[in-house]
Amino acid sequence: MKSQQNSFSQMTRKRFLKTAAMFSASAFSVDMGTAQPRDGAPGQAASASNSVTLENSHWRLNLNAGAGLKAQLVHSPSGIALAGGEYSYSLGTPAFGEARERQNDKTRTVRLMGEIPGGIRLQHEFRMSIDSPWLEEQITISNRGSAILAIPYGRCGFVLPMTLHGGAVTGPLRDFKATAVPYRREPNGNRAQYADYTLGQVLSEPRSSHLRAETPIERSGNVVLTTVYATGIIQTSYPFYASEGWVLSEGRCGFLLTKYSLDGMEWALLDRVTVNDGRSGLRWGGFGIFQGDPERGAWLAPQESHRFGVTRITAFEGGIEEGFYTFRAEMDSRGHACPKGFNPPVHWNELYDNKLYWLPGMDLPENRKKYYTLADMREEAAKARDIGCEALYLDPGWDTRFASKIWDESRLGRMKDFAAMLAREYGLSLSLHTPLSGWCDPSSYPRSLDRMNRDGSRVEGSLCGASAQFVEETRARLEALARDGARFFMFDGTMHNGECWDPQHGHRVPSGRVEHVEATNGLARLVHARYPHVLIEMHDQMLGGTRLRYVPTYYGQGVGDRAEGNQAAGFDSVWAFELMWDPMTDLVGGHSIALYYYNLAYSLPLYLHIDLRKDNAQCLMFWWNASTCRHLGVGGTHADPSVRLAQKEAMETYRRLEIIFKAGTFYGLDEMVHVHVHPTEPMAVVNCFNLEDHTLNRRIELTPGTLGLEARGSYEFKGATARRSGNTYVFDVVVPGYGHSLVELRKK
């Protein structure tokens, strides 16, 4: 949720973080730009060359290690080369010793150990699956010197030499495009924006992206420029093409490139180098420091090491959609999936009808006392029950001060009694808005938890979210709420306020982005350790309630690390990019199309609540968000009684089919046709949407066997008449202008 201007306006969401590291004069800084490394750099000891080949039915990787590494990677079925020639180590050329190999029943691994002048040790591992279509690599950098090793522009990777002609590449990859996963459509993007790039663009142009930057906002015919949250400067172009993953495909054959790390925020990077014959080389894989992350890899103390994340390349057949499904399968296998039996309560959010939130003095005690009373919440609970919701979600106003996370008994009575009343009289559970350090009234915490400047002074009113004391106090408050009946927490207010130099806070000094993000993720695990049934939604842990995405989506989700002593699960769902304020405009304007591509790439649930006052009689907005957000919230009373009736009927249909939407498997036939397959039964629903102002007739072809359904047998349809042609069903659907049509199918 976006903050409003109020009595604590200094707690803005737009906290700018600076990714350019400030290094001490004693640091040993390595320039890691895009220049091609040289063979046999001066002062470097040569090592004996040794060759090894990793091969399965999908890939052949030839490695020749010595003074540097020559790497050739070929996709065996197509004969397409993805790498050839010198591997790019732009921090210097490693002198490698003998390759070490090992094999088990699943993978074959090659490990190379190299030394780089300046006291740098590099470990490079390559792992190939015995029977699956993937190859992985992973790099560890160790500082064996006596000075700090600063590599703020670190970049290593495979290199594929390519020829450009008229701005386009030639050869087998000439028709391939690189598509960002999961944010092919960015939440700030319009209906024409796609993160699809020719390889010629990757080799010759910077990437333009608004995933970390607000787009210009047009008001009264004037363009108002906004700022970039991630760096504090207006910038939307990056030398690296950075994404959680990239799909390279020409529609028939494809390769998925991903980066995965639980120890630092990393991205799959594409960029370019100049190879020895003057051509351009596509560089991918390895590791790269992108806007200062991962911090612990960009700055190594003497005798310190950092293991960068895993790069994986996976071959698949098909185009962009198949590439997204390949990404989803990979993330599911890593534990970032829809939890088995996921069944979150449908929320009613009282905010949309509540006068308090829309007042200039939202947090003033007199306004809370007047507009946020027990009687007000009973009225909202009745609305929730009448439309068919399962929980009452309380947004700002329920606690003593904004984001104190302390229940206000003076206005609402005891929390246990309130939760019992909701269950007894309205059949509802209780869900709460619980913002963290980035957006709260700081007066509800001790001033010793404010951030400290380098000179020892406090940044008054700016809490340190990485402080052990803040985490412990917040954990205690959240556990008290869970004990007394809360069944859902929204982790809003996750924004990073900036570095902190307080040595008493229990974090590295100074704290950085990684300490803040890990403390925020840790809070979810701490709560789940005692209250595993409480659902926790997580906003972006750096940028909070915006349409932006800084932290890799999966980061901090899933079962914890045994070594850290807390194996409790992380957060349960991801905030759907603040698309809650004007969801109809966001949908018709194209922002909400991002939710479609997210679902192709992740089964990790999204959560969003939407304003029903903005919907139409076709319930277009309701159904779109029901189709793309596994955890759905609604609120707001529409002025038109006929629309309210349509919304209630839509909710009845949704509740009848809710297990499919909450826990089923999502498939996209195209952006406007979504298929949800039941998690255990041979049935599915098809959502057809129309974002145009006129009726559309859609002919849809659906093959059950390609959607995880039983291929054999007959299916009956509800909402359309289908005819069968082999294993494919064909049916026609009439979709009203700005409307929606629902089709159900079940095996006979």
Tens of pLDDT, residues 524-545 = 999 999 999 999 999 999 999 8
> Which of the residue ranges 112-121, 233-242, 488-497 would you say has the lowest mean pLDDT?
233-242
Between 392 and 220, where is the model more confident?
392
How many CA atoms within 13 Å lie on the side-chain side of 141? 32
Distances (CA, A) of 1 to 293, 547, 555, 609, 681: 26, 10, 21, 10, 37
Q: What is the structure's pLDDT at 563?
A: 53
Tens of pLDDT, residues 284-334 = 999 999 999 999 999 999 999 999 999 999 999 999 999 999 999 999 999
Mean pLDDT computed over 63-81: 97
Tens of pLDDT, residues 657-708 = 999 999 999 999 999 999 999 999 999 999 999 999 999 999 999 999 999 9
Beta bridge partners of 248: 178, 255
Q: What is the structure's pLDDT at 426?
A: 98
What domains appear along the chain, each with residue ranges and CATH number?
Answer: 28-333 (2.70.98.90), 653-747 (2.60.40)
Mean pLDDT computed over 30-40: 37
Global model pTM greater than 0.85: yes
DSSP state of 214: P
Q: Would you say residue 163 has pLDDT above 80?
A: yes
pLDDT-derived band at 29 (thresholds 50, 70, 90) equals very low
What would the 3-class secondary structure string for 163-203 be? CEECCEECCCCCCCEEEEECCCCCCCCCCCCCCEEEHHHHH
Check whether the bond before 583 is cis (ω within 30° of 0). no
pLDDT-derived band at 229 (thresholds 50, 70, 90) equals very low
Neighbours of 146 (CB within 10 A): 10
Give the whole-angstrom CA distance, residue 662 versus residue 675. Answer: 13
Tens of pLDDT, residues 246-299 = 999 999 999 999 999 999 999 999 999 999 888 899 999 999 999 999 999 999
Q: What is the structure's pLDDT at 725?
A: 92
> Which of the residue ranges 215-224, 317-326, 621-630 would you say has the lowest mean pLDDT?
215-224
Mean pLDDT computed over 75-86: 97
Q: Would you say residue 11 has pLDDT above 60?
A: no
Mean pLDDT computed over 218-224: 30
Contacts of 550 (CB under 8 A, 6+ apart): 212, 229, 230, 265, 540, 541, 542, 543
Q: What is the structure's pLDDT at 238?
A: 75
Neighbours of 166 (CB within 10 A): 6
Q: How would you classify the pairing of strands 280-288 and 268-274?
A: antiparallel
Mean pLDDT computed over 591-601: 98
Q: What is the structure's pLDDT at 217?
A: 36
**Contact between 401 and 7 (Cβ < 8 Å):** no
Contacts of 329 (CB under 8 A, 6+ apart): none
Tens of pLDDT, residues 97-106 = 999 999 999 9
Quick one: tokens of 370?
């007047």
Mean pLDDT, the chain, as a whole number? 90
Between 684 and 3, where is the model more confident?
684
Neighbours of 190 (CB within 10 A): 12
Helix (H, G, I), strand (E, B) or coil at 337: coil
DSSP state of 267: -
